[in-house]
Amino acid sequence: MQDFASLLPLLITVTGAVLIMLYAVCPQAKQQTASYICAAFFGAAFVVGLLTFGSEGELFSGIFKGVIGVSAFSNAASIIIFGCGFFTVAACSTYFREHKFATVEFYSLLLFSACGMVLLSMARELITAFIALEIMSLAIYILVGFDRNSPRATEAVFKYLLLGAFAGAFFCMGTAMIFGATGSTRFAVI
């Protein structure tokens, strides 16, 4: 039960992201309603993160084999990420009243990027860190180029995609070298 409580803030954000994606399919979906839903999920994850702040250790070691865990660092990072996500939603809702390029999916992508960030702080080995980094990066790539009418956004997403591809390749190459040298991808063994 302690493991589930520690993983609950991450599950809340994943649930929020999926629900907003499902809400986006509805013909009556409104951007303002999606911002309220997103803010509610960020707020709920923030509160649950505060309530489970003292927990430490591997999560579901029988299922996940110790690839994710919580520590004081991951707890603090998740609280900061959820708080920043909440204030980002608040700032975006006022910004999008003037600039009308946002859709409902924008808020789902915010939640998915936060999921990747939190999972990255919980990672206990390199492969999990890479997967979390890619979850975060893919959502942020789309968010960078969200304004399709802006040539600056198109250029920025192209440059960011190239830079991210090279960084991902270097990360994988480094992981392979570390695995070859140590025989493990776990941070504790490295």
H runs (alpha helix) in 99-150: 105-122, 126-144
Per-residue model confidence as pLDDT tens digits over 129-176: 999 999 999 999 999 988 888 889 899 999 999 999 999 999 999 999
Locate 133 and state its tokens.
């980094």
H runs (alpha helix) in the chain: 2-25, 31-51, 61-64, 72-98, 105-122, 126-144, 151-182
Locate 153 and state its tokens.
């956004």
Per-residue model confidence as pLDDT tens digits over 91-120: 988 888 887 777 889 999 999 999 999 999
Q: What is the pTM of this model?
A: 0.91
